[in-house]
């Protein structure tokens, strides 16, 4: 299987986070850091790439999630305190036997070597993780399906919620709750497999159509407060409006 195909299949390929809405802790803010997510593919000696998601969290916490593409679908997450040195812009962390360093800028993290120095050579650009600014990380209420308005019943709207840490999607399909997986590569999106509860109601046709649209999803775009999802057709299959931040 090709390197490109492995990367497209990586479950941890999420560029789906509302980084700009994260609140910073007082410590991080004073040091010039913000709570953000950084994503990219790092070199790997015995696999296609190490798909890596780094989350800078509140209170000087760092979370690093890795997937060894083409070798395992497992997600391995490390959590640790970190120390940031503003003069050198260097982040240092240590967890168990792992000790690591990143060079920080608002738009990217650069992985450093074991001594905290820059990696040089032809592979140097591949040690960069870029800040993720997409805003899937919200609750989205369905407004249109295949160009037709979709009405809520009482206070219950058909909605989706994306959870980037576990690459899970959940929501309400019209009659039943749904849960499943999703993956994103750039603006390409795949949703599923999706499982639902088994309750019957008078919106079963709407629900079936909605689940089919999710299955056919191929591309998405966020326009201010709207999320549009396309399949193979030129017109959007689904249009959502943001409900609230997660």
Question: pTM of the entire structure?
Answer: 0.51
Decide: 235 and 148 in contact? Cβ < 8 Å: no
Are 212 and 231 found together in one domain? yes
Are 96 and 12 found together in one domain? yes
Residue that is last in its domain, among 75, 110, 131: 131
Across the range 116-126, mean pLDDT stands at 94
Residue that is last in its domain, among 112, 131, 150: 131
Are 168 and 92 found together in one domain? no
Pick the closest to residue 220 from 206, 245, 240, 199 (CA basis).
240
Are 156 and 93 found together in one domain? no
For 58-72, the pLDDT digits (tens) are 788 898 988 898 888
- What per-residue confidence (pLDDT) applies to 30? 33
Are 122 and 151 found together in one domain? no
Give the total number of structural domains in the chain: 2
Residue that is last in its domain, among 107, 131, 155: 131
- What per-residue confidence (pLDDT) applies to 132? 67
Are 119 and 204 found together in one domain? no
- What per-residue confidence (pLDDT) applies to 153? 63
Are 97 and 121 found together in one domain? yes
Domain containing residue 55: CATH number: 2.40.128.640
The fraction of the chain above a pLDDT of 90, given in percent, is: 48
Beta bridge partners of 195: 179
Are 113 and 208 found together in one domain? no
Decide: 14 and 51 in contact? Cβ < 8 Å: no
Decide: 103 and 118 in contact? Cβ < 8 Å: yes
Structural domain boundaries enclosing 195: 138-245
Average pLDDT, the chain: 81
For 165-183, the pLDDT digits (tens) are 678 899 999 999 999 999 8
Pick the closest to residue 179 from 201, 203, 162, 158 (CA basis).
162
- What per-residue confidence (pLDDT) applies to 139? 81
Decide: 169 and 163 in contact? Cβ < 8 Å: yes
Are 173 and 157 found together in one domain? yes
- What per-residue confidence (pLDDT) applies to 15? 35
Domain containing residue 221: CATH number: 2.40.128.270
Are 142 and 126 found together in one domain? no
Reply yes or no on whether the pLDDT at 240 is more than 90. Answer: yes
Are 7 and 125 found together in one domain? yes
Are 192 and 227 found together in one domain? yes
Across the range 17-42, mean pLDDT stands at 53
- What per-residue confidence (pLDDT) applies to 245? 46
């Amino acid at each position: 299987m090709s390197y490109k195909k492995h990367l497209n299949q990586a479950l941890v390929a999420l560029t789906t986070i509302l980084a700009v809405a994260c609140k910073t802790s007082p410590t991080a803010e004073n040091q010039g850091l913000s709570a953000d997510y950084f994503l990219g593919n790092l070199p790997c000696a015995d696999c296609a790439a190490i798909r890596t998601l780094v989350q800078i969290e509140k209170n000087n916490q760092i979370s690093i999630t890795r997937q060894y593409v083409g070798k395992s679908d497992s997600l391995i997450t490390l959590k640790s305190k970190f120390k940031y040195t503003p003069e050198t812009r260097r982040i240092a962390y240590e967890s168990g036997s792992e000790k690591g360093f990143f060079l920080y800028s608002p738009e990217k993290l650069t992985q450093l070597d074991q001594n905290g120095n820059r990696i040089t050579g032809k592979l140097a650009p591949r040690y960069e993780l870029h800040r993720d600014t997409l805003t899937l990380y919200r609750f989205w209420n369905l407004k249109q399906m295949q160009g037709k308005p979709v009405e809520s019943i009482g206070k219950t709207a058909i909605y989706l919620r994306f959870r980037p840490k576990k690459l899970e999607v959940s929501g309400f399909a019209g009659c039943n709750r749904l849960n499943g997986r999703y993956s994103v590569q750039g603006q390409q999106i795949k949703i599923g497999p999706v499982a639902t509860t088994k309750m019957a109601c008078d919106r079963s046709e709407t629900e079936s159509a909605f689940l089919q649209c999710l299955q056919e999803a191929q591309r998405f775009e966020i326009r201010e407060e709207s999320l549009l999802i396309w399949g193979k057709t030129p017109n959007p299959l689904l249009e959502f409006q943001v409900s609230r931040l997660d």
